[in-house]
Structure 1
Amino acid sequence: MSFIVNKNERLNVLVEDLTHDGSGVAKVEGYPLFIPGALPGEEVDIQVGKTLKNYGFGRLINVKKASPDRVDPPCHVFPECGGCQLQHLSYEGQLVQKRKTVRDVMDRIAKLPHVPVHPVKGMDNPWRYRNKSQIPFSEQDGKVVSGFYRSRTHHIVDTDVCIIQSEEADELMSTLKHEMHAFGIDAYDEKAHRGMLRHLIVRKGRATGEIMVVLVTRKKKFPQKEAVVELIKRVVPDVTSIMQNVNDQKTNVIFGDETILLYGKTFIIDSIGPIDFEISARSFYQVNPEQTEVLYGQALEYAQLTGGESVIDAYCGIGTISLFLAQKAKEVYGVEIVPQAIEDAKRNAELNGIDNAHFEAGPAEVVIPKWYADGKRFDVLVVDPPRKGCDEELLKTILEYKPKRVVYVSCNPGTLARDLRILEDGGYRTQEVQPVDMFPHSSHVECVAWLETTL
């Protein structure tokens, strides 16, 4: 097989676009080359790496003509670490590119070039925004390392600082790494399945300042447990919860089945707008609460509630959107396939004194028809699915019962566009799309879409 370009060939190319994962795209006689670290508008020298039938990869050697949006990344392990993809692009440039990503899939996949895609709602300060850190520990060449995985690998890039996570997480990560041997604790070896400390998880309530620390260990019993608890309390005086999770399985899944309280409470409280949430070690909770308030505020605006509506919240999780909607709706019915999340949602409703939000565990495509069969009728449906988008059966259910308005909250523009096309073909009309930047310096962008039925 002959290729337009050959492996190890050196080329000078013009970068035209960015991929969904933040790589630059250049074309040689129509053949796409993906180039990590390159930005649109740049003239770059590259060395061709892997070549496949329809595309290839290039390694950036030199930037001959830089984009005006190129900046020096403030993180010392960028781009080696896989956590961020766009620190070399100005924040204003990131927002422009993320809007373009959404516009492109709306045109190409949803076939909706006429639907407005608004400028991305970004952050005033796009640093230290993560309220949850999951930090792996290991040993490399006899030295304890902690940090974040290199992109597409399980090799830890060692660091003491991550400028998108909390300072408390940085301090604990660094302290444990440098002192754990003194406590007789070794780090986990994933290949050999030995060692004790697997992960450090730090969760911080943005509104409350409450902090939870979770030590994920291979065994339940580990040396000087009480002394380690006192060390954590000394490093993070504001800590309100210290937990141990035991994962003795040879797996790259972070959590095991058993979670043990070591100090304080089994949960922390945080707030998004006026709503409080009880967050346990394993609760799903958005990692950027400041932008979550923006995202859910947009969903509430598109729902256009006046106080008399009945609303479905599919994929309701622990009730975050449901409880936002309940402030303005007559009734909200949330459905989620994970039973523990439903228990959390009920507890959060009780925590806030909200009695017009009702929750049921099960597949949305099963539970929603049951509600209709029971005589319930709904004006608005809100969906916030995982990255794979809405389940096909749920889309069929929406088209069968046709609530007047659908608000689609998405963490993947591609699957959003796919699902909008299906809903459009079934009689809905997309009014507009509002992107929200939940993960600055990454290539991800979230969206809220507003649809109305034509019937």
Structure 2
Amino acid sequence: MECGYYDRDLCRSCTVIEVPYARQLARKQQLVRDLVDSHGEPRWLEPVASVEAGFRNKAKMVVAGKVGAPTLGILDRGGRGIDLRDCPLYPEPLTRAIHALAEFIARVRLLPYDVAKRRGELKHLIVTGNPDGRLMIRFVLRSTGQLAKIRDNTDLLRELVPHADVLSVNIQPEHKAVIEGAEEILLSRQGELIMPVNGIDLRVRPRSFFQTNTRVTEQLYRQVADWVDAVDPASVWDLYCGVGGFALHVAAPTREVAGTEISAEAVASARDTARAMGLPDEGPGSVRFLADDAAATPADLPGTPELAIVNPPRRGLEASLCAWLENSSVDHVVYSSCNATTLARDLGRMPSLRPVEARLLDMFPHTGHYEVAVLLRRG
């Protein structure tokens, strides 16, 4: 992939962009195989490649510059803004929206936050797009001082970005490297962005997590659904379920599925999708969601599932959850990981659950990051 920002040494976020993509993929495959194979030598399926450009469904832009002349992108080492509004990682609808939002910020005269001086208001702009070009736009402010400026000019905002379904302001008052705060102020009637994935209309709220590469995410969900259907368990737990992607993909008429996620917003979105799909929340064919810490799930849900899906953050599973899975009667586990190092550590904590099949899915071309899914079987 060609990138003028990289060539001009303005942005080095894509750390391996100079490596041919086929070689990037082969390196990642070898890395995860080296870490996983010592725990059982699973059969490795063909890696899932991404398109090389235009794959990101979310742009997180630092806002800098001056009133009337903002930059949207990153900061240099001196804290000055580097404008990246034409980054080739974003699909065309996101790029158009970023340009329009820069115009909105300039015309409304929002005050960019100055990191060095600790002054200003607008810190970040977060734009999420779905496959149909619909958008969720979030302004991250230091305080509510310029909230009225945004609220009073939503007509202009919708004129400039007509495909925006969800508009919100997030308040992040602290001077530290945290993109968003706990307070979200919704400015639109619609509070969820519909994210169609494999025929399921997932719902994403402003503070909910969703994978940044929608096409590869579709294949991840299909792969996990194929594994689950081949095992055909009567009961499934989806731990760290997010907005319910895995749980809703493995729903079946005779299967009971339960998902747990610590984010109440994500659980609310998952429940909304389940209701829209007409799925009951108890009995055969049910899918229900619980706002809970994944490590606490065994104590908070009755019984034991025949199969568990785990999709933890980079730090991996809690040791207590590994111990419970190891000593439980769970026959199969599907582990989706963005960090093969912690995945390998957790496999070492669960020696009775052996990897039998695995697949690399490249969510993040031009970087060292990836997703890997592994099917584990007891014995």
TM-score by length of 1: 0.74
Which SS does the other structure have where 1:434 is aligned? strand
Whether 1:76 aligns to 2:4 is yes
C-alpha separation between the residues in 1 aligned to 2:258 and 2:46? Answer: 31
Q: Which has the higher contact order (CA 8 A, sep 6+)?
A: 2
C-alpha separation between the residues in 2 aligned to 1:337 and 1:268? Answer: 20
Whether 1:219 aligns to 2:143 is yes
Q: Given residue 308 of structure 2, which amino acid in structure 1 is its aligned partner?
A: L
Q: Rg larger in 1 or in 2?
A: 1
Task: Tell me which residue corresponds to 2:164.
Answer: 239
C-alpha separation between the residues in 2 aligned to 1:193 and 1:184? Answer: 18
Q: 1:4-51, CA deviations, whole angstroms, 9 ceiling, x for partnerless residues?
A: xxxxxxxxxxxxxxxxxxxxxxxxxxxxxxxxxxxxxxxxxxxxxxxx
The one of 284, 308, 326 aligned to 1:381: 308
Question: What's the offset of the Cα at 1:81?
Answer: 1.9
Task: Tell me which residue corresponds to 2:219.
Answer: 294
Which SS does the other structure have where 1:304 is aligned? helix
Which SS does the other structure have where 2:14 is aligned? coil
C-alpha separation between the residues in 1 aligned to 2:78 and 2:377? Answer: 43
Is the 8 Å Cα contact of residues 86 and 443 (structure 1) preserved in structure 2?
yes
Whether 1:138 aligns to 2:68 is no
Task: Tell me which residue corresponds to 2:192.
Answer: 267
> CA 1:357–1:113 in structure 2 vs 1: closer, same or farther (change >3 Å)?
closer
Point out the more displaced range, 335-344 or 384-393: 335-344
Whether 1:417 aligns to 2:347 is no
Task: Tell me which residue corresponds to 1:432.
Answer: 357
Task: Tell me which residue corresponds to 2:238.
Answer: 313
Question: What's the offset of the Cα at 1:428?
Answer: 2.0
C-alpha separation between the residues in 1 aligned to 2:336 and 2:254? Answer: 18
> CA 1:312–1:444 in structure 2 vs 1: closer, same or farther (change >3 Å)?
same
Q: Given residue 338 of structure 2, which amino acid in structure 1 is its aligned partner?
A: C
Task: Tell me which residue corresponds to 2:128.
Answer: 203
> CA 1:382–1:153 in structure 2 vs 1: closer, same or farther (change >3 Å)?
farther
Q: Given residue 199 of structure 1, which amino acid in structure 2 is its aligned partner?
A: H
Is the 8 Å Cα contact of residues 82 and 148 (structure 1) preserved in structure 2?
no
Q: 1:237-257, CA deviations, whole angstroms, 9 ceiling, x for partnerless residues?
A: 222222222333323322233
Whether 1:96 aligns to 2:26 is yes
> CA 1:182–1:312 in structure 2 vs 1: closer, same or farther (change >3 Å)?
closer
Question: What's the offset of the Cα at 1:360?
Answer: 2.0
C-alpha separation between the residues in 2 aligned to 1:179 and 1:308? Answer: 52
Task: Tell me which residue corresponds to 1:147.
Answer: 73
Which SS does the other structure have where 2:167 is aligned? strand
Question: What's the offset of the Cα at 1:306?
Answer: 6.4
Whether 1:441 aligns to 2:366 is yes
Question: What's the offset of the Cα at 1:224?
Answer: 4.3
Task: Tell me which residue corresponds to 2:109.
Answer: 184
Task: Tell me which residue corresponds to 2:283.
Answer: none
C-alpha separation between the residues in 1 aligned to 2:107 and 2:233? Answer: 62
Is the 8 Å Cα contact of residues 323 and 354 (structure 1) preserved in structure 2?
no
Which SS does the other structure have where 2:297 is aligned? helix
C-alpha separation between the residues in 2 aligned to 1:318 and 1:153? Answer: 38
C-alpha separation between the residues in 1 aligned to 2:232 and 2:39? Answer: 32
Question: What's the offset of the Cα at 1:106?
Answer: 2.6
C-alpha separation between the residues in 1 aligned to 2:339 and 2:80? Answer: 26
Point out the more displaced range, 186-195 or 247-256: 247-256
C-alpha separation between the residues in 2 aligned to 1:98 and 1:80? Answer: 26
Question: What's the offset of the Cα at 1:143?
Answer: 6.1
Q: Given residue 140 of structure 2, which amino acid in structure 1 is its aligned partner?
A: V
Q: Given residue 17 of structure 2, which amino acid in structure 1 is its aligned partner?
A: Q
- Structure 1 residues without counterparts, runs of 5 or longer: 1-72
Is the 8 Å Cα contact of residues 306 and 328 (structure 1) preserved in structure 2?
no
The one of 42, 55, 79 aligned to 1:129: 55
Is the 8 Å Cα contact of residues 115 and 432 (structure 1) preserved in structure 2?
yes
TM-score by length of 2: 0.88
Whether 1:366 aligns to 2:299 is no
> CA 1:243–1:249 in structure 2 vs 1: closer, same or farther (change >3 Å)?
same
Is the 8 Å Cα contact of residues 316 and 346 (structure 2) preserved in structure 1?
yes
* Aligned-CA RMSD value: 2.7
Q: Given residue 223 of structure 2, which amino acid in structure 1 is its aligned partner?
A: Q
> CA 1:410–1:171 in structure 2 vs 1: closer, same or farther (change >3 Å)?
same
Q: 1:214-242, CA deviations, whole angstroms, 9 ceiling, x for partnerless residues?
A: 11222324274367434432332222222
Instruction: Please give the residue correspondences for 1:308-347 in structure 2 after superposition, counting only pairs within 5 Å.
Output: 309-327=234-252, 330-347=255-272
Percent identity reads 29
> CA 1:103–1:141 in structure 2 vs 1: closer, same or farther (change >3 Å)?
farther
What is the count of residue pairs matched by the alignment? Answer: 371
Instruction: Please give the residue correspondences for 1:100-119 in structure 2 after superposition, counting only pairs within 5 Å.
Output: 100-107=30-37, 111-112=38-39, 114-119=41-46
Task: Tell me which residue corresponds to 1:38.
Answer: none
Question: What's the offset of the Cα at 1:182?
Answer: 4.2
Question: What's the offset of the Cα at 1:132?
Answer: 1.2
Question: What's the offset of the Cα at 1:431?
Answer: 0.8
Whether 1:396 aligns to 2:326 is no
> CA 1:341–1:296 in structure 2 vs 1: closer, same or farther (change >3 Å)?
same
Question: What's the offset of the Cα at 1:313?
Answer: 1.0
Question: What's the offset of the Cα at 1:365?
Answer: 3.1
The one of 248, 258, 271 aligned to 2:173: 248
1 or 2, which has the higher strand percentage? 1
The one of 200, 206, 211 aligned to 1:281: 206
- Structure 2 residues without counterparts, runs of 5 or longer: 281-285
Task: Tell me which residue corresponds to 1:33.
Answer: none
Is the 8 Å Cα contact of residues 98 and 120 (structure 1) preserved in structure 2?
no
Task: Tell me which residue corresponds to 1:16.
Answer: none
Q: Given residue 406 of structure 1, which amino acid in structure 2 is its aligned partner?
A: V
Question: What's the offset of the Cα at 1:329?
Answer: 5.8
> CA 1:215–1:115 in structure 2 vs 1: closer, same or farther (change >3 Å)?
same
Which SS does the other structure have where 1:395 is aligned? helix
